């Protein structure tokens, strides 16, 4: 597999197919990127498991930390490795000892280990490197395009804002609208002018 570029279908299939995600390197500190990614994915209906030996005894959004993947004690669909590249192979080696094996190994932005990817793929796992599932979910579900980010469309027309319960392109329901006071005011002013 070419890990320099992933098709939207490949990413979409993974995000639609997984339900339980163990995040290695999750942090309870609410200004850390792993906290934002964990919270975002949990709010989208994924069963999130925080893995970080330095925070055992604490919880993240009501989910207790575990010290290692092998301590989870239940099936996990995806391992999201939120560690730097030098820590990927040890995390993968631990994941390969899990029963049953996870379906996906996902390495966060800036993390890449081609040898670990080859080893995971040889074991039958799907691999994503140097990507964030939070960003990919937002992009593929059109949540990011509310603000005009990466919508791949140049238009003066405002995209519809997802509302609570609206079916998104990832076969999941939105958890809330994208409205803000400023956007509502702008839409109201625009309608009054026409």
Identify the CATH assignment for 8-136 out of 3.40.50.720, 3.40.50.300, 2.40.128.20, 3.30.70.360.
3.40.50.720
CA distance 47 to 21: 6
Contact 76, 22 (CB under 8 A): yes
**Using N-to-C axis directions, what is the helix angle for 33-43 and 133-140, rounded to 10°?**
40
**pLDDT the model gives residue 125:** 98
Q: Can you give the pLDDT at residue 178?
A: 46
| Residue spans per domain, the chain | 8-136, 148-193
CA distance 52 to 29: 12
pLDDT digits (tens, 9 = 90+) for 105-124: 999 999 999 999 999 999 99
pLDDT value of position 164:
61
Share of the chain above pLDDT 90, in %: 69
100: preceding bond cis by omega (within 30 degrees): yes
Q: Name the pTM for this structure.
A: 0.76
pLDDT tier, 188 (very low <50, low <70, confident <90, very high otherwise)? low
Count of beta carbons in the 10 Å neighbourhood of residue 180? 12
Give 78's pLDDT tier (boundaries 50, 70, 90): very high
Is it the case that residue 2 has pLDDT exceeding 60? yes
pLDDT higher than 80, residue 176? no
Which tokens in the block code for residue 93? 């080696």
Check: CB of residue 60 under 8 Å from CB of residue 26. Answer: yes
Residue 177 clears pLDDT 50, i.e. is over it: no
Average pLDDT of the chain to the nearest whole number: 85
What is the average per-residue pLDDT within 162-180? 55
Gyration radius of the chain over CA positions: 18
Neighbours of 120 (CB within 10 A): 23
Q: State how beta strands 78-81 and 104-107 pair.
A: parallel
Lowest mean pLDDT among 20-34, 73-87, 129-143: 129-143
Residue 77, pLDDT > 90, answer yes
């Amino acid at each position: 597999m070419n890990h320099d570029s992933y098709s939207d279908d490949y990413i979409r299939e993974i995000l639609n197919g997984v339900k339980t995600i163990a995040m290695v390197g999750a942090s309870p500190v609410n200004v850390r990127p792993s906290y934002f990614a964990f919270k975002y994915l949990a709010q989208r209906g994924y069963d999130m498991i925080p893995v970080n030996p330095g925070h055992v005894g604490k919880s993240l959004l009501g989910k207790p930390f575990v010290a290692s993947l092998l301590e989870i004690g239940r099936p996990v669909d995806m391992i999201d490795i939120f560690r730097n590249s030098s820590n990927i192979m040890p995390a993968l080696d631990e994941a390969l000892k899990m029963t049953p094996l996870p379906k996906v190994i996902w390495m966060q932005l800036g993390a890449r280990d081609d040898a670990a990817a080859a080893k995971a793929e040889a074991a039958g796992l799907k691999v994503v490197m140097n990507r964030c599932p939070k960003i990919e979910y937002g992009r593929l579900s059109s949540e990011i395009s509310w603000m005009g980010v990466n919508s791949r469309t140049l238009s003066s027309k405002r995209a519809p804002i997802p509302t609570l319960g609206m079916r998104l392109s990832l076969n999941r329901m939105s958890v809330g609208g994208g409205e803000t006071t400023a956007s509502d005011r702008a839409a109201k002013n625009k309608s009054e002018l026409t």
